[in-house]
Structure 1
Amino acid sequence: MRKFIILTLISSAFHFVSAQSNTLLEVNVDTNVELQTIHNFGASDAWAAQFVGTWSDSIKSKTADWLFSMESNKEGSPKGIGLSAWRFNIGAGSAAQGEESGIKDRWRRTEGFLQNDGRYNWNKQLGQQWFLKEAKKRGVDQFVAFVNSPPIQLTKNEKAHSDDGQGANLSSGNYGAYADFLSKVLDHFKDSLAIDFDYISPFNEPQWEWKGGQEGSPWNNDELANATRVIDSVFVQQNIHSKIEITEAGQIDYLTGKKDKHENRSDQIETFFSPDNPYYLGSLKSLAPKVAGHSYFTTWDVQKLKRKRERIAEKLLKYPNLEYWMSEYCILENNDEIRGKGKDLGMRTALYVARVIHADLTIANASAWHWWLAMSPYDFKDGLIYHDKKVDDGTVSDSKLLWALGNYSRFIRPGAKRILVTYKGANDVDNLKDGILLSAFKNRDGSIVVVIVNQKDEMCDIKLHMSLPSKTPIKSYVTNESFNLHKMGAGELGNGKIQVFDKSVTTVVLKPQL
């Protein structure tokens, strides 16, 4: 039966016929009710790009195409997932210290532009710079620079990690020097490479102690606020247009309330955006009107997944001028459904992450969604693309996760509006856990994108109720165990009834006549 259905899907364009009877889900899509703006989907160059970016042209070009390409093959299927944002890690310079850095894994040390004599060497991080330039060449026009640790020349212990984890590894006397360092890096990339970073994130995951293993620095809220004020004053003085992105919280619940263990590193929306708070930053000229958080350790169980994101939405109602960006995620936690350890190129991980994307976009109202490692050498669920852990050259492999993310990133373009979708069960806990998840978006060009995540073990029929003519052109793209963002056909909307595979992510693109 499955072989017959696949042939039917391909040969009959979009309107599918099956001999079997499937569950029918009635879905209302209201194109006139617009919700949050979607700015981008992205990933990070840490840490592997420093090596992969120096490999053979064929390997690194294939990697860049998978990540950034908006082109299609002769069958009409995408060659890549069309990421619309790229996160560039500004290194602290631990690579120069080798094993003395206190970071055992060579791949987690980074080069640094600032040198011990106070001068700058712009020939550092060349592998990362290659991917940065290729991202722009392939159409990416939104860039975020982020810092795990200030340069080792400025830190308290001259290391890229903390000794005790109690506070910032940067004395207040060096806040100005840190701000000047950031300004010089941003100016260089703008003037020399025509890369204009839209945002700079100076404080990545300030909640954690960062006492080794990789570059990082803890920051208490008062330290973060005081340093941000200094950075803002330097940016204004030096005419830096990149906006400061905070808070890059290690978990999204650090944004929305106080946490006992880290009370002075939590409740960050109120701390930095309530005018009554002594650490209020909302009036700073250089501060981006958004908060950033990472979805780690808030995705299981499904009731927790929903509740934590509802809290974000509630805070956005209180502060309507703020946006929320989900700026980093991979699977770290071990739970009843999935474990972080163990590379998985299949649909199990892809569907787990698709549920998280859906929840972040439709419950937390995220305006951006970023995966963590674009490429990974680890036996872990942390990469979109996997490769050998070799310095000089190697091979690369794609994953179902890469293409499932592409069901969103390739078709929901910058400036799109999420639009209202209603159906029975929708974001109820039971449906979030193992049901069908739908979201819809309106691009600037008027095209409508509907993403369908079918977590069920059975094929399902979807009836889309939309105020569009029956002759509206329509295309569909599927990621499942058999296909990687494969174009299944093209046709017309007709009566709006479509069929989706079991354990799949399907994107439906409609092109209303304007």
Structure 2
Amino acid sequence: MKQCFWIFLTLVGLELYGQQITFDTQKTFQTMHSFGASDCWSMAMIGKYYPESKKKQIAEWLFSQDSDPQGNPKGIGLSMWRFNIGAGSTEQGKSSKITNEWRRSESFLNSEGYDWEKQKGQQYFLAAAKQYQVPYTLGFLNSSPIQMTKNGLAIGSGRLGEWNFDSTKIDAWTNFITKVSQHFNFNYISPFNEPQWDWGPNKSGEASQEGTPITNSDIAWATKKLAEHFQRTNAKTRIVIPEAGQLNYLYDPKSNRPGQDGQIENFFQLESPNYVGNLSTVERVISGHSYFTTSPSSKLVSTRQELHKKAKAANIDFWQSEYCILGDNAGEITGNGVDLGMKTALYVAKVIHSDLNDGNASSWSWWLAVSANDYKDGLIYTFNGTHKGENDHNKFDADLYDSKTLWALGNYARFVRPGMKRIEASIQQPDCLITGFTDQKSIVLVLINSGNAFELHLGSKQEMKTYTTSATQNLSYHSVQNNRLPIPASSIMTIIFDSKFGTAF
């Protein structure tokens, strides 16, 4: 079958100066689930205070699948929206020990019950996501509500692995998560976030955000309790764990986080005392964050290949659930300093490529959908003149800036839709990466060209649609109806055509 297919492919002529782009629709890998981003933390301010026109522009950029009259996408069509369920540090103000009010969060729970008017800024964008028919929503907790923590705060003690939670409140905890999940009809709930980090106070007694560490045994115990409650209440929401702070914690049982690593085997190996793979409300997914494992390229690839081996052996999917550029990345790129251009976009695209191809991720999510920081952590940025940062200058209104990273993510999110399968694909061109997908009707190829411009020569005329992100283009649409396809330098291009090699899809 493959030999005949390749002969047909050669006749169609996806050739590059005599070298082929090759792909095989019969050789498939993971089924794609979603591409997403989170509403931390700026959406609380933007959704509450910003002018309606700017809120609508942000929602369109993130969620829209519409195009302008010229065929250019208006947005990147995210298929997952992640909602931060707050713990109540906003109501505590400065006594929360979290110095930056942007990093505090309201809670739906109070002494009298539930107040669904809280987190209104975030609710605005959750409603917008649903209005744009984003297929999946996920609620995640950085901390349990302050009424249920040991120290009455939304931050940890600073001691490695110590979960800031009063275990006598487990029934209240499961009820809270169930109530919130049902109220907002979340498809998924992620009860723990980056359990390997301490999230405690610094020497001055202050902290940067809500959060708490937690051990594997505590995660398993709480997950079992939550799953039981979901079953009793017929909750439709699915539980996703454990949002590991680094991908190696998912597969390596001998890292620097004893009791918090080797999480694939801990949660999905039958012999493990922490096994939760038999719980009907737990999604057979292991989730983690791509931070600190992306440079150099050898580490990027090997980390994800090791992860895939363990996940495949456990018969579970992998979701890359949070990423932005942190640290110095072996000198390749630094997290400090906003970059709206292609350098960051190309680096992020390379990470996506490896997460999908080497790690077989079926879902991929970015961290901050909107950022006010002078940092490489946003898809969209909001600055008031020269003022950058999470401060009053940008709290009530500011200018909006779309980044090339936004549109680079769109090269995947907008066209690789839930249910598509990744297919085998390769290209013989220096500094160029390729990933292929199909839904049996169309073929989608995403090319990342970090090098010079080149031209793809088609052996015969082939109608295609292309969408290009480059220094001068944001998912710009072109219809290709001849046998030449130019690939710009430093660009990301999505190519779409009919799976039967007829007209473009």
Aligned: 1:359 with 2:354: yes
The 5 Å alignment of 1:364-383 reads 364-383=359-378
After TM superposition, give the deviation of residue 447 of structure 1 in Å.
Answer: 1.4
The 5 Å alignment of 1:148-297 reads 148-166=142-160, 167-189=162-184, 196-211=185-200, 212-297=207-292
Contact 1:90 1:146 in 2 (8 A): yes
After TM superposition, give the deviation of residue 51 of structure 1 in Å.
Answer: 1.0
Amino acid corresponding to residue 186 of structure 2 in structure 1: F
Aligned: 1:422 with 2:426: yes
Contact 1:68 1:81 in 2 (8 A): yes
Indicate the SS of the match to 1:289.
strand
After TM superposition, give the deviation of residue 217 of structure 1 in Å.
Answer: 1.0
**CA separation in 2, counterparts of 1:126 and 1:144?**
17
Q: Which residue of 2 aligns with 1:500?
A: 487
Indicate the SS of the match to 1:288.
strand
Stretch of structure 1 that moved more, 288-297 or 135-144: 135-144
Aligned: 1:38 with 2:32: yes
Change (3 A) 1:463 1:151: farther
**CA separation in 1, counterparts of 2:118 and 2:326?**
30
**CA separation in 1, counterparts of 2:276 and 2:120?**
35
After TM superposition, give the deviation of residue 392 of structure 1 in Å.
Answer: 2.0
* Structure 1 residue corresponding to 2:97, chosen from 95, 102, 115: 102
**CA separation in 2, counterparts of 1:412 and 1:90?**
28
**CA separation in 2, counterparts of 1:461 and 1:299?**
30
Indicate the SS of the match to 1:77.
coil
**CA separation in 2, counterparts of 1:28 and 1:249?**
35
Q: Which residue of 2 aligns with 1:11?
A: none
**Residue-pair matches, total:** 470
Q: Which residue of 2 aligns with 1:28?
A: 22
Amino acid corresponding to residue 186 of structure 1 in structure 2: S
After TM superposition, give the deviation of residue 414 of structure 1 in Å.
Answer: 0.8
Q: Which residue of 1 aligns with 2:436?
A: 440
Indicate the SS of the match to 1:308.
helix
Q: Which residue of 1 aligns with 2:41?
A: 47
Amino acid corresponding to residue 405 of structure 2 in structure 1: L
Contact 2:17 2:457 in 1 (8 A): no
Aligned: 1:93 with 2:82: no
Indicate the SS of the match to 1:265.
coil
Aligned: 1:319 with 2:314: yes
* Structure 2 residue corresponding to 1:391, chosen from 379, 389, 395: 395
Q: Which residue of 2 aligns with 1:130?
A: 124
Amino acid corresponding to residue 467 of structure 2 in structure 1: Y
Amino acid corresponding to residue 108 of structure 2 in structure 1: F
Q: RCO (CA 8 Å, sep 6+): is it higher in 1 or 2?
A: 1
Change (3 A) 1:299 1:463: farther
Aligned: 1:460 with 2:450: no
**CA separation in 1, counterparts of 2:105 and 2:457?**
51
**CA separation in 2, counterparts of 1:506 and 1:290?**
30
Contact 2:464 2:496 in 1 (8 A): yes
After TM superposition, give the deviation of residue 186 of structure 1 in Å.
Answer: 1.3
Q: Which residue of 2 aligns with 1:413?
A: 417
Indicate the SS of the match to 1:247.
strand
**CA separation in 1, counterparts of 2:306 and 2:17?**
33
Change (3 A) 1:460 1:163: same
After TM superposition, give the deviation of residue 260 of structure 1 in Å.
Answer: 3.8
Amino acid corresponding to residue 393 of structure 1 in structure 2: D
**CA separation in 1, counterparts of 2:142 and 2:456?**
45
Contact 2:182 2:237 in 1 (8 A): no
Alpha-carbon deviations, 1:457-484, whole Å to 9, x = none? x11234579xxxx665311111110111
After TM superposition, give the deviation of residue 424 of structure 1 in Å.
Answer: 4.4
Amino acid corresponding to residue 475 of structure 2 in structure 1: L
Aligned: 1:302 with 2:289: no
* Structure 2 residue corresponding to 1:328, chosen from 322, 329, 342: 322
Unpaired runs of at least 5, structure 1 = 1-14, 17-21, 190-195, 426-430
* Structure 1 residue corresponding to 2:466, chosen from 467, 472, 476: 476
Q: Which residue of 2 aligns with 1:6?
A: none
Amino acid corresponding to residue 355 of structure 1 in structure 2: K
Alpha-carbon deviations, 1:180-237, whole Å to 9, x = none? 1001111222xxxxxx211100001100001121011100111111111111111111
| Higher strand proportion (structure 1 or 2) | 2
Contact 2:155 2:199 in 1 (8 A): yes
Amino acid corresponding to residue 421 of structure 1 in structure 2: A
**CA separation in 2, counterparts of 1:410 and 1:501?**
20
* Structure 2 residue corresponding to 1:63, chosen from 39, 53, 58: 58
Indicate the SS of the match to 1:281.
coil
Q: TM-score, normalised by structure 2?
A: 0.90
Indicate the SS of the match to 1:379.
coil
Change (3 A) 1:464 1:249: farther
After TM superposition, give the deviation of residue 136 of structure 1 in Å.
Answer: 1.1
Amino acid corresponding to residue 103 of structure 2 in structure 1: R
Amino acid corresponding to residue 505 of structure 1 in structure 2: I
Contact 1:472 1:511 in 2 (8 A): no
Change (3 A) 1:464 1:315: farther
Contact 1:143 1:199 in 2 (8 A): yes
Query: Percent identity between the aligned chains?
Result: 44
Q: TM-score, normalised by structure 1?
A: 0.88
Amino acid corresponding to residue 207 of structure 1 in structure 2: Q
Q: Which residue of 2 aligns with 1:509?
A: 496
Alpha-carbon deviations, 1:425-482, whole Å to 9, x = none? 8xxxxx6xxx1000110136x11110000011x11234579xxxx6653111111101
Alpha-carbon deviations, 1:462-507, whole Å to 9, x = none? 4579xxxx66531111111011111123426x5xx53211100011
